[in-house]
Amino acid sequence: MKRILTQALMFLVSLFMSTLYAQQDKFIEEYIERLENSKKYLILVAETMPEDKYGFKATSESMSFAENLMHIGWAMDWHSQSLMGGRDARDWNTDKELKVDNKSKKEMIAKIDETFHKTIEFISSFDINKLEERLDYFGSNRTKRQVLLLLADHITHHRGQMLVYMRLNGLKPPRYVLYQ
């Protein structure tokens, strides 16, 4: 009888664990779909803004359109490669790869496309068993799953600022794309 109970318990645990892993796999799959759509929309926004307006700021304290664009790339790199991946973070003061620097509109869009690609590649191969691991996120204790959701919010936040900048310059932003 003890053996039957042990086997039944093991079966129930394995059933629960396989359901949990399937949900985590689905989370990654859906998250990547969201990032792909976000990339397409952000690049469309970046392409629509004329290059001579890339330096526009809503206020003197604000980031420019170009700085918002490159900041999105910086955040994707930091959240995925450094915070979740363990690579040393780029030095904001000296690293030029993900800053506006002297980049043209075309170069910035290419860099954002490349950064999305690297981020999606990282998340695609991310060990789903690590989604529940916890990290210090600016003083808050967050799971890696939550960090991914925070990254998506961060992209949306800065892209939203870019859309307002377009409106402030008399431009009609590209039509909103769902699920991103």
In a domain, 5, yes or no: no
Residue 155: inside a domain, yes or no?
yes
**Domain presence at residue 52:** yes
How many domains, the chain?
Answer: 1
Report d(CA 10, CA 76) in Å as an integer.
40
Asked if the structure places residue 19 within a domain, the reply is no
User: Which residue type, as a one-letter code, is found at position 21?
Assistant: Y
Q: Is 3 a member of any domain?
A: no
Please tell me the pTM assigned to this model.
0.84
DSSP for 87-123 reads PPPP-TTT--TTS-TT--HHHHHHHHHHHHHHHHHHH
**Each residue's pLDDT expressed in tens, for the chain with a length of 180 residues:** 677 766 666 665 555 554 444 445 899 999 999 999 999 999 999 999 999 999 999 999 999 999 999 999 999 999 999 999 999 999 888 889 999 999 999 999 999 999 999 999 999 999 999 999 999 999 999 999 999 999 999 999 999 999 999 999 999 999 987 766
CATH number at residue 30: 1.20.120.450
**Given the structure tokens 């999305």, which residue do they identify?**
116
Work out the end-to-end distance of the chain between its first and last CA atoms, rounded to an integer number of angstroms.
Answer: 53
142: β partners? 135
Domain that holds residue 71: 24-168
Q: Within 13 Å of residue 140, how many CA atoms lie on the same side as its CB?
A: 7
- Paired tokens of 107: 């170069």
Residue with tokens 């496309």: 113
